[in-house]
Structure 1
Amino acid sequence: MKGKWPWRERWAMATLFVTLFLVMVGFGILLPIMPYFVLKLNGDAVAFGFFTASYSIMQFFFAPIWGRLSDRLGRRPLLLMGLGGYGISFILFGLSTELWMLFVVRSFSGMISSATLPTAMAYAADCTPPERRAGAMGMLGAAMGLGMILGPALGGWLGGYSFALPFFVSGALALITVPFAFWLLPESLPEGAAIQEPQRWHNVLRIGRHRQFTLFLLSFAVSFTMALFEGTFAIFAFERFAFATQHLGMMFAGLGTLGVIVQAGLVNRLARRFGCVRLVAAGLAMAMTGLALMAVVPTLPAMVAMTALYSAGAALLRPNISTLVSQTSDDGQGASLGWMQSFDSLGRAAGPMAGGILYEVAAALPYWTGALALLLILVLSWKQLQRYQQVGDAL
């Protein structure tokens, strides 16, 4: 019945929620300790930058491949493989004794983990009708947001005992989810719905002609601007308002909580009332305004308010872009969501590098650049977004 969540759908979504929550706790555990682990193995800031980028670069190349394979082989085997490989990669991190080992394992982790997120999104899309899909994507985003709130705090505590301990705990959390996913998640791809067309590299080279390319660019713009913000905000807040690390931790925890509230509590209701395209436009406007003003407001409370406005806008964007990608796919939801994840990874790889360069020119420049990028993508994509909305309304 419309507006109700059938029990099978709720069970699948609850299992996916817990799965992605545990995976993101494992990912977040590493954030406070990873720079120190690289330095311990005689790395430097340059090495850490390339080390960080290697993960996203591997995701860029492999997320579309895993997504298309999930359309051919089914969601369940790809999800189980991604979870298992993710856990093994963390164990290998903890066992690494040389810097080159970290790079190899990080690349493997980016390659194998990119099978998890787009496949989970495709699974949720398989299990939910169009009118509830934005809510399902919002719930998955909330699960990841909660994991990113708890994970860094847990990682900082565990890292005080041993640099390797957070890696082993992360690996254990990921591996623990495998048997639960095996027993509790049936195959969601309907029988006979598998797409047998093999991945063709000329399709990769012609991605600019893809009918969903506008949505992929939106995903890139969101992750790029978020990376600009996250990569420079700690320095900016310290230099301008003498932010200490504990203040920054509390602020990011608060922003993460705000994102969870928006994605889990508001997205589904708002999408059913206004439509995904209007929410994408609203999210772009909010994020753009927050970025543009946070660098110039004169007081700390005003800066915190603009940061919250930006975060709320970003929280609106991600699940609604995912929903539009799912609804307008004509060559398999897994493949389309894989491409979206690929462009998201590319934005997360390019954002920190661009942010650092721009910040050296002027402290406010990363935020103004991000706001301008969001404004341009909104103006240039508006007509195409309207066409996507028509497709979604017809479902």
Structure 2
Amino acid sequence: MTSQVSSGRAIKVQNNLRSIAILFFILFLVMVGFGIIIPIMPFFLVELGGNASILGLFMATYSLMHFLLAPFWGRLSDRIGRRPVILIGLSGYGITFVLFGLVSELWMLFAVRILSGAISSATLPAAMAYVADTTSEDERSQGIGLMSAAMGLGLIFGPALGGGLGQQGLSMPFFIAGGLALVTWPFAYRYLPETLSRTGINAVADASAALSSRVIASPLFPLFALALILNFSAAMFEATFVLFAAHRAAFGPKEIGLLFTILGAIGVIVQGSLIGRLVKRFGDMSLIKAGLLLSAAGLSLILFAFDMVSLLLAAAIYNIGVSLIGPSSSTLATQYNDQGQGTSLGLMQSFGSLGRIIGPVVGGGLYELSIFSPYLLGTAIMILTYLVIRLHLHEFAISPAGEGS
């Protein structure tokens, strides 16, 4: 009997590891696709008659679709299960990237971008909810951290792949990214089991509907607001840092590429291997508060940076802070709403997308007034958020999922 129990546990662990590995690769592919367009899309748009303003609108379109539809996909994963929603997102992702490679008019490019953003927004909340379903509370931060690391790796390899393949033709990177997703689909279909039983789906759907009807009144709203703040700050940083580095240290594409590759590697290390051990020792809320202070420190140090070493140090400190906040806040959202996790994470992604829509606009406008303004505002926001959490959100540091007071 003991040997049968041990064998059953071993099979369950093996299945979980296989599922996590498939999810890791899916999210890696999604972010490869997101990053692959960075070095080629400006040229692609110009070739189709676009300009800088149209490029900004094009980039915002993707975040807008995530803002509008991520909650829907999260609710759907609570209602019909995680697996079908993940498969929908993966298939849509593959098909739309193949379509990107086939467009010949600017309006077609926007149409495919809207479709891509709408369908790909299914993947992240369902995948994160899948991890939450298959991990214990002690392991959840590490599991979500691994998914974040997968996305970080995608953002490292995506631009490099796009730049290299773009030399062979501007459509080539899209065909490669889409083909990889379509090749992955049969493996996900075969080896990715559903994590919710029929009874579980019914119970989760009820909780999902309740959460959706009272977003602002929900106890999770502070975490949704944190996602908005974090992504707003990150988008301001991303929208202005290249210009800042070029102005302060005469950085060109080579130096910028090297710096962002190093930052991406740091994020992967923190989220992929360190965060699980840090959570076990300090707890998720402690990491969020530490991340806010580190982010504020990094943004303030950017004001005094003037060469590769100082810029890298400041940006690395900021990046470490952001890497601590993201997985920990997602973990708390699943722990404090142990039913309807897809809806919780979908809403969190939606709030994050709203930050990414507003951030570049505000950051760009402030940068025109003063190159230091975006980083001063970011520092102030991080410190203020830390103080609010420290003074008013004690409950998130106590027991999860409604246990305790």
Q: Report the TM-score range of the alignment, normalised by the length of the smaller protein.
A: over 0.9
- Provide structure 2 residue ranges, at least 5 long, that are not aligned to the other structure: 1-5
Residue 376 of structure 1 aligns with which residue? 384
Residue 86 of structure 1 aligns with which residue? 93
Q: Distance in 2 between matches of 1:59 and 1:162?
A: 29
Cα-Cα RMSD: 2.1
Correspondence 1:126-145 to 2 at 5 A: 126-145=133-152
Residue 215 of structure 1 aligns with which residue? 223
Which deviates more, 120-129 or 49-58? 49-58
Which deviates more, 348-357 or 280-289? 348-357
Q: Distance in 1 between matches of 2:70 and 2:173?
A: 26
Indicate if the aligned counterparts of 2:153 and 2:268 stay in contact, CA closer than 8 A. Answer: yes
Residue 365 of structure 2 aligns with which residue? 357
Which deviates more, 55-64 or 182-191? 182-191
Aligned match of 1:154 in 157, 161, 165? 161
Correspondence 1:140-289 to 2 at 5 A: 140-194=147-201, 195-197=204-206, 206-289=214-297
Deviation at 1:270, TM superposition (A): 0.5
Distance 1:61-1:203 versus aligned 2 partners, 3 A rule: farther
Find the residue that maps to 2:316 and give its secondary structure.
helix
Which deviates more, 381-390 or 165-174? 381-390
Residue 345 of structure 2 aligns with which residue? 337
Q: Distance in 2 between matches of 1:23 and 1:301?
A: 31
Find the residue that maps to 2:199 and give its secondary structure.
coil
- Provide structure 1 residue ranges, at least 5 long, that are not aligned to the other structure: none
What is the count of residue pairs matched by the alignment? 392
Which deviates more, 131-140 or 218-227? 218-227
Residue 323 of structure 1 aligns with which residue? 331
2:233 is matched by which residue type in structure 1?
A: T
Q: Distance in 2 between matches of 1:384 and 1:272?
A: 23
Aligned match of 1:110 in 102, 113, 117? 117
Deviation at 1:6, TM superposition (A): 3.1
1:392 is matched by which residue type in structure 2?
A: P
Q: Distance in 1 between matches of 2:44 and 2:311?
A: 32
Deviation at 1:98, TM superposition (A): 1.2
Correspondence 1:2-13 to 2 at 5 A: 6-13=13-20
Q: Distance in 1 between matches of 2:143 and 2:363?
A: 32
Kindly indicate whether residue 92 of structure 2 is the aligned counterpart of residue 123 of structure 1: no
Deviation at 1:347, TM superposition (A): 1.2
Q: Tell me the TM-score normalized by structure 2.
A: 0.92
Q: Distance in 1 between matches of 2:392 and 2:48?
A: 49
Kindly indicate whether residue 57 of structure 2 is the aligned counterpart of residue 50 of structure 1: yes
Identity score, percent: 47
Find the residue that maps to 1:192 and give its secondary structure.
helix
Q: Tell me the TM-score normalized by structure 1.
A: 0.94
Indicate if the aligned counterparts of 2:245 and 2:311 stay in contact, CA closer than 8 A. Answer: no
Kindly indicate whether residue 11 of structure 2 is the aligned counterpart of residue 18 of structure 1: no
Q: Distance in 2 between matches of 1:209 and 1:222?
A: 21
Q: Distance in 2 between matches of 1:39 and 1:232?
A: 22
